Amino acid sequence: MSAPTSTRALRMAYVVACVAGVLFFVTSVGLLGVWPTQMLRDQTTRMAPEVPLRPSVSESRGRLVYAREGCSYCHSQQVRFTAADTRRFGAPTLAWETQFDTPHMLGTRRIGPDLSRAGGTRSLDWQYAHLYAPRDVVRESVMPAYPWLFDGAPDRPTQEARDLVAYLDSLGRAREVAGPEGEARAREGCDCDDDPLMAMAFEGRLNNHPARAIRHGEAPALPIDAAALPRGQALFARHCATCHGPEGQGNGPAASHLRPAPKNLSQHDYSNARLASALWNGVTGAAMPAWRDLSPDDLGALAQAVQALSVTRVEPAPSEALLAQGREVYAANCAQCHGTDGRGDGTAADALPMVPANFTQQQLSLSEAVRVLREGIPGSPMAPWTSRLTSAEILATAHYVRSLYTPSLPGHLRK
């Protein structure tokens, strides 16, 4: 009589296993699929600004180019909730920031840097030169070149390249545009003041990219140690020569397509304070990145290497009459931008896309100053003056701005 009992038990086991299997399946779909989606959706609704910024048509097309070219094989788009990530890139990515990113480009590998805060980090000319030939800009880059996005040169981008760079420039922007009100709403919706991990999303700067130029940033004093010169020269060859050229003449492989062009460092003398600021803060409105990922020791060594590139001569002192003429031309034509004392803080300065040169902290060679006055600096607000000033006036003004150089002044850019 035992056979039918065991058959029944066996039949029951099938049913039990089947029911348990279905239950297990449903539970896992719920727990791993439905619930997190619902949580994310709730979180997005609670934390997003009321009217979040949507991508433009060009940016959406750029996103497709990004996907097609496989940029996300090497670039992630998520600042993680770790100290290392926030130090380098800025605030961790919130779910709502990627709400229009379907299918998403979060990426899983970082062969190149994370791009979720790429917007506003690099200048347009830098982006084009870099996409066209990365190693012309960053000597040791392993990023592939994308010349097919251009008509033969970095300053002739196709519509696809324009869209792609518009897309790159939009990354991280929605949250920046949302501003303090957006952050406050997100924080309230997050309701996570007692959750130290989530709280990280609201600490520190939104964009902490070490290369992002800062217009009026503070800079640390750089240690100046003569023995560091060879190290500085090696760093210059590695990081700077692609743009400024091996001898600093402004003729590196990337230079011909950058506007404004890299400075001819051999024709400039810079104070320590000016170099500290240029290296720590970069130059806004130009391809010159900031170098905050290098240590102050390295930046001090680089500053010496830059100073050692100068081949400017000591010019015979100009006569008082010449200087007086220069002062007059300067007061009438230059002071509104470059400031009455030549500190780059004239009344019009704040409205310009670039900070005017501070003549107390840098001195051009006489020939370079005359050249700049004749030709202007294409890509910057500094116009050519040949139609408005005579040759004699140009020479006098060049002498005058040179006479303002006082490298021992403390390194303020503005009063």
Position among 40, 46, 69, 223 found at the interface with ligand HEC (CB under 6 A): 69
With binding defined as CB under 6 A, does residue 290 bind ligand HEC? Answer: no
Cα gap 161→282, rounded to integer Å: 25
- Shortest separation between residue 402's beta carbon and ligand HEC, angstroms: 9
- Shortest separation between residue 248's beta carbon and ligand HEC, angstroms: 8
Cα gap 404→342, rounded to integer Å: 7
- Shortest separation between residue 83's beta carbon and ligand HEC, angstroms: 19
With binding defined as CB under 6 A, does residue 273 bind ligand HEC? Answer: no
With binding defined as CB under 6 A, does residue 175 bind ligand HEC? Answer: no
With binding defined as CB under 6 A, does residue 278 bind ligand HEC? Answer: yes
Q: Residue 143 or 206: which CB sits closer to ligand HEC?
A: 143
Residue tagged 């140690």 (tokens): 225
**Beta bridge mates, 90:** 207
Shortest CA distance to 129 belongs to which of 113, 106, 153, 108?
153
Stretch that binds ligand HEC, among 16-24, 97-105, 175-183, 232-240 (CB under 6 A): 232-240
Q: Residue 222 or 287: which CB sits closer to ligand HEC?
A: 287
Stretch that binds ligand HEC, among 20-28, 77-85, 132-140, 180-188 (CB under 6 A): 132-140
Position among 105, 178, 192, 354 found at the interface with ligand HEC (CB under 6 A): 354
With binding defined as CB under 6 A, does residue 275 bind ligand HEC? Answer: yes
Tokens of 225: 């140690």
With binding defined as CB under 6 A, does residue 211 bind ligand HEC? Answer: yes
With binding defined as CB under 6 A, does residue 247 bind ligand HEC? Answer: no
With binding defined as CB under 6 A, does residue 399 bind ligand HEC? Answer: no
With binding defined as CB under 6 A, does residue 174 bind ligand HEC? Answer: no
Contact 66, 107 (CB under 8 A): no
Shortest CA distance to 254 belongs to which of 145, 405, 409, 396?
145
How many residues sit in the footprint of ligand HEC (CB under 6 A)? 72
Contact 228, 303 (CB under 8 A): no
Secondary structure element (H or E) that encloses residue 269, with its range: strand 268-270
Binders of ligand HEC among 332-351, rule CB under 6 A?
Answer: 333-334, 336-338, 348
What burial letters (b/e) apply to 230-268, b meaning 16+ CB within 10 Å?
Answer: ebbbebbeebbbbbbbeebbbbbbbbebbebbbbbbbbb
Position among 94, 201, 273, 306 found at the interface with ligand HEC (CB under 6 A): 306
Cis peptide preceding 260, ω within 30 of 0 = yes
Residues near 409 by beta carbon (within 8 Å), at least 6 away in sequence? 271, 273, 360, 361
Residue tagged 């003004």 (tokens): 397
Secondary structure element (H or E) that encloses residue 368, with its range: helix 366-375
Binding mask of the shown chain, residues 89 to 118, with x at each position contacting ligand HEC by CB under 6 A: ----------------------xxx-x--x
Q: Residue 186 or 278: which CB sits closer to ligand HEC?
A: 278
With binding defined as CB under 6 A, does residue 186 bind ligand HEC? Answer: no
With binding defined as CB under 6 A, does residue 124 bind ligand HEC? Answer: no
